[in-house]
Amino acid sequence: MADASVFMVLTRLAPLIEKKVRDEVSLLLNAENKVGSLSEKLKKIQEVLADAEQKGVTDPKVKTWLDKLQEIAYEIDDAVDEWEVENIRKQLEESEDSTRSSEDPWQKVISFLESVCLCFKQTAYRRSIALDVKHIHQKLDSIAQENENEFKFIPNIGSVSRVFKRGESTSSFELSEIRGRDFDKEKLMSKLSLASSGGSEGEDEIQVISIVGTGGMGKTTLAQLVFNEIKNQIEFKPIWICVSNPFDEIKIAKTILNELKISYPTDPSFETLLNRIKEFDERKKLFLVLDDVWTEKDTKWKPLKIALNSCAPGSIVLVTTRKEKVAKVMGSTHSHIHQLDVLSEYDCWKVLTHRAFKDKSESDCEMLKKTGQDIAKKCKGMPLAAKTIGGLLHFKTTLQQWENVLNSAVWDLKEVKEDLFPVLTLSYNELEPAAKRCFSYCAIFPKDSLIDVDDLIRIWMAQGFLSSNKNMELQGQEYFEDLAMHSFFQDLEKDDGYDRIIKCKMHDIVHDFAQFLTKKECLTVGEVDGVPKIAVPEQNIHHLNLMKFGDVSSLSLYPKLRSLFCRNLAIPPNLFSHLKRVRLLSLGKLEDIPKEIGDVIHIRYLDVSGNSSLKELPETVCNLYNLQTLGIRGCHSLCGLPKGIHKLKNLRHVLNRGTRKDFKYPQGFEKLTNLRSLNQYCGNKWGYLKDLNQLQGSLHIEAMDDLDKDEVKEANLQNKKFLRLLSLFVSKSGLSETIEDLQPPPKLKRLIFGGLSLPKWVVGNTHSEGLTQLRQLTFSGTKMYDDSWSLPPLGKLPFLEKLVIEDVQTLHHVGHELLGMNDKTSVVPLTLIFPKLKILQFFDCKRWEQWEDISEEEEENNMIISIMPCLQELKIVNCRKLKALPHRLLRKASSLQVLVIRNCPYLANRYNREKIGIK
């Protein structure tokens, strides 16, 4: 990880020693030459870091040497930060001076005095910078001497900046490749079937069946196989809960109630939750999976089990755990414990080759086969090991490269107890330095955390792991994809609208490995089975996550913090006096933010989301010139952004979903042209959005009643080419014509529109050819009525996959205009109507009476119309006046698999389940 830190500071030092910018580095005075010398020394050290980092995994002395080097890198990073902040401050002051009136004599006097004071201040600061550089030089010399005298690391001449060959796209991801578990699945299904039928011991109680096996054996995968099969059985109500450590009985009870759709008080006692569970009286059996259970105490589980006994006979709990003792504590008898064994050599080989041989020629596979089989044997039948090594070998194309993996000394690690650590180490060593740092940092998250990928990338960015000379978000996405390909992340969840990974988790063994790599740098203070887990304070802790049993007053023991997560503890007034080096702050339970936050100049990521009582951000926040991410989601009482927000030129992400509708954006907000994220914008000053053309992802805009036509045009939405989801809500009928003048981003994938009627620009108008890239469209109506309105010809949108019409009180009749059959200007041939549509849903259209069918002639003439050939799901809910379905039209939708009709009395009277196949 020192490799990544050295690379990071070398990147930041480069502009300081380039001749073209040297004149601007006036604050450094005579330190320029020393900075250049510093950079040269770092480059020489960097040449040996590949060898040092590999040896540091097993040699404590080398690890100590690397830790000292990393500390020096952090010191340089801090020094550069301080210079840059002072330089920005100087530029802002000069800019403000130039705007003052030159005719005011008093203003001239004040300006002169301020310049004199600034001169003294800069002189002192220059001396501080020079002394810092001298001090760092001495430390680097000591580090270099230590290598020459003791370690003698081998230089990696010619490839200091190692480039990792990455996969071409995320489409090659495999969430799981399962081999050799058919017998286990059949045996487990047999146990479940017997328990569900009541043909086993203890049939008056809910049956508990356990899968037991060591880490990486595939317990969760087997449970998922069974879960996916049982969830399709109509007699079961399936619920999946990832338990992990600690065993949080209240959280488990709440999850069960949420899945059963049983309400409970805002701040319930455990007893209240248990009583609510006992109220579950549906005829369905419960199939509850508790994944990754660790607790060996039955005091937390017993009350839950007693409450679950009230479920229908034949209900089952399936537990996955590493320990047989845990299985017995949970209530599994000997016959209800399924011991998961290792894979056979053949099955392990097949898991490995699924990734390793991907995109390789048949002749290459044959050449590599024998070496690959030998490598598979070293995986010892562990599915996760085979999958991880397969991901590593995917990028290696020569026999020599495969033999290097086979003969690596890492397989013989004695210091590491976990069987999978050698496998993970091999894969880890192949990563770029920055990608290594991105992975190891994830040790700061609790086990089994559901990680938001976009937020993870913003955190990496705040720590300096991503190069500021590039598109950092894109670079972070590439690193994430590399790590996922190497199986460092799992349970990858895609957003079907963007076709990209948005959520992930880490396997608990992979998390253990990350903690092993950062055991003196990352600290999470939490609990295990209700007992506080507090590590001995380390001077070199840089990343701290204070959880349930944390002690905020102990922050003074961690002077080198660069990250602080503290969401569940009250923040003391003097907090910021202990956080001089911090880059990331994620804080909860805040009544207000002290103005001293402006002194914490290194901050890149400030997240105060969820503080509903927070009313304002202090103006000193605008002194955080390095700030990249500001998180204020769910701050319902927050009035707006501070007036000086325009000073934050590096601000890239304003995460403000869930703030109030009258949230204020001060003048100057329009100057934040580096913004990539702005979750929502409610106001009448749409002109502030004009130059924010780097916005990407999603944006929710709510039109205020006093919005005028000129402001709509000023928004310049058509130039927001990176936006993929636009949510636009128009509450006033008089604004409909104004919104028609809007030119939306042409490459939108999803549109959510709330208003009286859908704008014509959705399918095309005089200004736009329509949203031809649109994948999903949701139209949510208002309570206003207009009997003359009808749906536009959405059937001509060539890539639309999902269409949702909800709460549209203006909808009486759905006719051929929706299909576009009467639209002669369609860009799609009339033989293709809704060519890609998979999901069609209507909700709460309470005045909808008729859905026009196609004629018998149109149905028989197959040369004329192909309607919704890909439709898989049709859902109609609470449309109480709809009298019939369009039978001929739906017969054209030959792929229809799911038809859901609820609270539609006319349809219920006209049809029965057998006739229309309702599911």
- Please give the residue that has the higher pLDDT: either 826 or 36: 36
pLDDT at 142: 85
pLDDT band at residue 665 using 50, 70 and 90 as cut-offs: very high
Section 58-80 average pLDDT: 82
Model pLDDT for residues 749-772, shown as the tens digit of each residue: 999 998 878 888 898 866 667 898
Task: Supply the pLDDT for residue 740.
Answer: 80
Instruction: Report the percent of the chain where pLDDT is more than 90.
Output: 31
pLDDT at 874: 93
CB-side neighbour CA atoms (13 Å) of 424 = 30
Strand partners, 841: 804, 875
In this prediction, residue 116 carries a pLDDT of 42
**Domain map (residue ranges) of the chain:** 2-151, 182-339, 344-517, 521-678, 785-919
Of 101 and 494, the structure prediction assigns the larger pLDDT to 494
pLDDT of residue 171: 28
Which of 308-312, 561-565, 864-868 comes out lowest in average pLDDT?
A: 864-868
CB contact burial 83-117 (16+ within 10 A = b; e otherwise): bbbbbbbbebeeeeeeeeeeeeeeeeeebeeeeee
Distance CA 131, CA 138 (A): 11
Q: Which of the four pLDDT bands, split at 50, 70 and 90, describes residue 915?
A: very low
When mean pLDDT is compared across 185-194, 600-609, 733-742, 773-782, the lowest value belongs to 733-742
> CA-to-CA distance for 209 and 229, rounded, in angstroms?
16
Helix spans in 703-787 (H): 709-714, 736-740
Mean pLDDT of 878-900: 89
pLDDT value of residue 120: 42
Query: Is pLDDT of 24 > 50?
Result: no
Of the pLDDT bands very low, low, confident and very high (cuts 50, 70, 90), residue 789 is low
- Kindly report the pTM of this predicted structure: 0.80
Average pLDDT over residues 116-135: 52
Residue 564 has a pLDDT of: 93
Q: What does the pLDDT average to over 206-233?
A: 88
pLDDT score recorded for residue 26: 44
- Take residue 246 and report the two structure tokens written for it: 């600690």
Q: Which is more confident, 583 or 391?
A: 583
pLDDT of residue 822: 63
Q: In what order do the strands lie in the sheet with 500-505?
A: 451-452, 500-505, 490-495
Mean pLDDT on 251-275: 89
Task: Name the one residue in this structure whose structure tokens are 């914490």.
Answer: 600
* Contact residues for 186 (Cβ-Cβ < 8 A; gap 6+): none
How does DSSP assign 566-601, residue by residue? ESSSPPPTTGGGG-TT-SEEEE-S-S---GGGGG-T
- Higher-confidence residue of 20 and 96: namely 96
Is the model more confident about 420 or about 692? 692
Q: What is the dihedral of CA 449, 450, 454, 458, to 10 degrees?
A: -10
Cβ pair 873, 840 in contact under 8 A: yes
More confident: 49 or 449 = 449
Residue 109's pLDDT band (cuts 50, 70, 90)? very low
The pLDDT of residue 918 is: 40
Share of the chain above pLDDT 70, in %: 80
SS (H, E, C) 221-278: HHHHHHHHHHCCCCCEEEEEEEEECCCCHHHHHHHHHHHCCCCCCCCCCHHHHHHHHH
Q: How many residues belong to the chain?
A: 919
Residue 59: per-residue pLDDT: 77
Identify residue 425 by its one-letter amino acid code. T
**From residue 206, how far is each of 234, 255, 788, 896 by CA, in Å?**
19, 18, 58, 38
> What is the model's pLDDT at position 107?
55
Average pLDDT over residues 664-668: 93
Name which residue leads in pLDDT, 847 or 469: 847
Q: Lowest-confidence range among 89-98, 242-251, 810-819? A: 89-98
Distance, CA of 185 to CA of 146 (rounded, Å): 56
Task: Say what the pLDDT of residue 620 is.
Answer: 94
Q: What is the mean pLDDT of residues 783-800?
A: 76
User: Averaged over 779-783, what is the pLDDT?
Assistant: 76
**What b/e sequence results for 436-468 when a residue is b if at least 16 CB atoms lie within 10 Å of its CB, and e otherwise?**
bbbbbbbbbbebbeebebbbbbbbbbbbbbbee
Q: Which pLDDT belongs to residue 278? A: 85
Looking at every residue in the chain, the average pLDDT score rounds to 81
C-alpha 388, offset from chain centre: 22
**Topology (CATH level 3) of domain 182-339:** Rossmann fold (3.40.50)
pLDDT for position 110? 46
Please give the pLDDT value at position 430.
81
Separation between Cα atoms, residue 760 and residue 766, nearest integer Å: 9
Q: Which CATH class is domain 521-678?
A: alpha beta
pLDDT for residue 209 is more than 50 = yes
479 pLDDT exceeds 90?
Answer: yes
Q: Give residue for tokens 């320990």.
A: 323
| Fold: same for 182-339 and 521-678 | no
So what's the pLDDT on residue 438?
94
pLDDT of residue 22: 44
Q: Which stretch of 158-162, 343-347, 836-840, 911-915 has the lowest confidence by average pLDDT?
A: 158-162
Residue 487 has a pLDDT of 83
Of 84-88, 105-109, 680-684, 731-735, the range with the highest mean pLDDT is 680-684
pLDDT value for 97: 60
- Judged by average pLDDT, the poorest of 19-28, 243-252, 428-437, 495-504 is 19-28
Give the residue carrying structure tokens 């845990």.
326
User: Residue for token digits 């999902």?
Assistant: 802
